[in-house]
Structure 1
Amino acid sequence: MKYLISVLTDPTESRGNMVKVAHAVLYAMELKKNGHDVLIYFDGGGIKTFENESLRKYIELAIKEGIVYGACGYCASPSHIGGKEKIEKIGVRLIGNESSHIGIAELINEGYYPIIM
């Protein structure tokens, strides 16, 4: 199976949200370990994941495993949620730009089953 985990949860809002984001990454890594094709996409409030130092080790592991599809460039732009510089600094690609919000339809068309967190 192919899975797309779209992280929309803002981990800076609460400890509970931080745990949700950490588990999204852990679940993705577990799926990959068990032979599934899995990608993680950070969108909306999930963009703030890259500002949270407590989540750094999870993000680094996901990048190392090659399962981070990217982050929404529209949401990461300064006029929206922001955080573009931090995202680019760690090597996560931005998808879309300040005037173009890219959805997940392309990946769904490629057979990915969406899991929204």
Structure 2
Amino acid sequence: MSDNKIAVVIYEPDSGDLSRVFRGLKVASEFKSAGDDVVVVFDGSGVESLAALSNSDHKLHALLESLRDNVHGACAYCANGHGVKDQIEAAGYALKADADGEVSIRDLVNDGRQVLNY
């Protein structure tokens, strides 16, 4: 295992620039394949992408599934606000509420992770 500790944070909704979501997941996959410690977090409108990609019919579903063990979770506040909380929970992903109900990016930094935003 390498010394790299990475957090890929996806903010882009599925209805937005899907290439950003794809690129974020591919970067995470690249780090994972190299043996790096990588986590993926869905925040802001990105929670919509996690919900959409959890559907087995989505063209990026297989890529997401290949990273299932690396998905740290999704912002609980955002998932509720974007109406996708139930979909994310049903897909088996964690809802993170470490910072006043939201996912904590600071905790990722404190864990020594380099944060990459998509």
- On whether the aligned pair clears a TM of 0.5, the verdict is yes
User: What is the CA–CA distance in structure 1 between the aligned matches of 2:72 and 2:103, rounded to whole Å?
Assistant: 13
Which residue of structure 1 lines up, in the alignment, with residue 46 of structure 2?
A: 46
Matched, 1:62 2:67: yes
Distance in 1 of aligned mates of 2:65 and 2:32: 16
Alpha-carbon offset, residue 34 of structure 1:
0.8
Q: Residues of 1 paired with 2:35 and 2:65: CA distance?
A: 20
* 1:2 aligned to which of 1, 5, 15: 5
- The Cα shift of 1:54 comes to 2.7
Q: Deviations over 1:37-80 (max 9, x none)?
A: 100000001011122523222221211xx110101111001xx1
Gaps of 5+ in 1: none
Q: Percent identity?
A: 28
Count of aligned pairs:
109
Counterpart in 1 of 2:114?
Answer: 113
Report the TM-score when normalising by structure 2: 0.85
Unaligned 5+ residue runs, structure 2? Answer: none
* Partner Cα distance (1:102, 1:18) in 2: 22
Alpha-carbon distance in structure 2 between the residues aligned to 1:54 and 1:82: 22
Aligned Cα root-mean-square deviation (Å): 1.6
User: Shift of the alpha carbon at 1:87?
Assistant: 0.6
Q: Secondary structure at the match of 1:44?
A: coil
- Using the size of structure 1 for normalisation, the TM-score is 0.85
SS at match of 2:22: helix
Give distance in 1, aligned partners of 2:36 and 2:47: 25
Show the 5 A alignment for 1:6-45: 6-13=9-16, 17-45=17-45
Segments of 4+ moved more than 6 angstroms: none
CA distance in 1 between counterparts of 2:112 and 2:28 reads 16
Which letter does structure 1 place at the counterpart of 2:30?
A: E
